[in-house]
């Protein structure tokens, strides 16, 4: 499907602080092509058309600009057991349980992984060595997309700058919805010292051609999936999953996991939150901000339909 995209493979448009990182990952992942995303409507439409033609998405005819993607049933949720925070010092992330650490029985998980109810930890260098092997040649036959994005408005002192490299066009079009994607981000990078740019690397983990049995419309590698975070390096590395919570690195990975580390250093709070607007029958609109943990009903509240409340209007601003 990459043939349908007019690829922009000019790395000269990248700030020098990012170009070196991109060139390093291109050499590691060995994609057939690469494309620097600009976030334009034209680019988005090209990707949607290509995915529709190849069966990755289907248009919902009764709704404007809506599509459905049918995923591999093995890749439909976040994978807590394979989500890891990597630092030099384990006690920065987890404590040793009184009963000791349980042995790792899954042959696809690193043997030195430390797991607790509060999270999973592994030494940075050990995890990077494992990831180097998984990512070697993982994008053969595919296009590597370079996505410059921001979490928050341009020029805001509270916004976070990031770049994600991925071999999934589904991730590209989804990131355009979830974040601010575009060449304007490069201007933001140029005005910074580069140390605050969060670098994200993602692959579905299925190079082409492949002798593995995969869902042709949703290739993934659930046996080898790892979603790893390096707060001391401002880095996210995710392998094997196309599911949004694992592949859209601005979402849980940056906003909450790396975000909590940034917040500690910078003096703010990272939390699951929603913003909604409620207009009463008199036309008075109030905005609400709510911070809840997982599984407390944030989505249901943010997407509330005021059934039985005539004249009320509820709008989701963000969640």
Instruction: Give dist(CA 142, CA 35) in Å, integer.
Output: 11
Residue 296 designated active-site: yes
Instruction: Give dist(CA 165, CA 152) in Å, integer.
Output: 19
* Given the residues 66, 253, 296, 316, the one annotated as active site: 296
**In 3D, which of 152, 90, 154, 160 has the Cα closest to residue 121?**
90
**In 3D, which of 200, 192, 195, 125 has the Cα closest to residue 162?**
200
Buried b (16+ CB within 10 A) or exposed e, 14-44: bbebbeebbeebbebbbbeebbbbbbeeebb
Do the Cβ atoms of 196 and 234 come closer than 8 Å? yes
Diameter over CA atoms, the chain: 63
Instruction: Give dist(CA 230, CA 172) in Å, integer.
Output: 22
What count of Cα atoms within 13 Å lies in the side-chain half-sphere of residue 24?
Answer: 10
Cis peptide before 296 (omega within 30 of 0): no
Helix (H) or strand (E) holding 302: helix 298-302
Phi, psi of 202, deg, nearest 5: -135, 140
Q: Residue with structure tokens 């807590």?
A: 80
Active site residues: 296
């Amino acid at each position: 499907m990459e043939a349908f995209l007019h690829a922009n493979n000019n790395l000269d448009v990248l700030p020098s602080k990012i170009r070196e990182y991109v060139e390093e990952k291109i050499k590691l992942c060995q994609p057939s092509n690469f494309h620097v995303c600009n976030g334009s409507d034209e680019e988005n439409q090209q990707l949607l058309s290509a995915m529709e033609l190849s069966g990755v998405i289907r248009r919902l005819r009764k709704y404007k600009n809506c599509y459905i993607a049918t995923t591999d049933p093995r890749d439909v949720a976040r994978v807590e057991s394979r989500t890891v925070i990597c630092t030099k010092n384990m006690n920065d992330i987890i404590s040793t349980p009184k009963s000791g650490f349980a042995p790792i029985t899954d042959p696809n998980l690193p043997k030195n992984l430390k797991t607790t109810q509060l999270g999973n930890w592994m030494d940075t260098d050990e995890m990077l060595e494992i990831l180097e092997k998984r990512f070697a040649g993982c994008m053969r036959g595919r296009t590597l997309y370079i996505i410059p994005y921001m979490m928050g408005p341009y020029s805001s002192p509270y916004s976070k700058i990031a770049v994600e490299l991925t071999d999934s066009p589904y991730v590209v079009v989804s990131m355009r919805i979830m974040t601010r994607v575009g060449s304007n981000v490069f201007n933001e990078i140029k005005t910074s010292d580069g140390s605050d740019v969060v670098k994200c690397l993602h692959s579905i983990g299925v190079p082409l051609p492949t002798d593995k049995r995969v869902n042709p419309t949703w290739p993934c590698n659930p046996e080898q999936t790892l979603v790893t975070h390096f707060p001391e390096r401002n880095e996210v590395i995710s392998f094997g999953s196309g599911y949004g919570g694992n592949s859209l690195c601005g979402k849980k990975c940056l906003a909450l996991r790396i975000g909590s580390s940034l917040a500690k250093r910078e003096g703010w709070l990272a939390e699951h939150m929603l913003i909604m607007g409620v207009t009463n029958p008199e036309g008075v609109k109030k905005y609400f901000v709510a911070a809840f943990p997982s599984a407390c009903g944030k989505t249901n509240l943010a997407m509330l339909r005021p059934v039985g409340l005539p004249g009320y209007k509820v709008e989701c601003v963000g969640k």
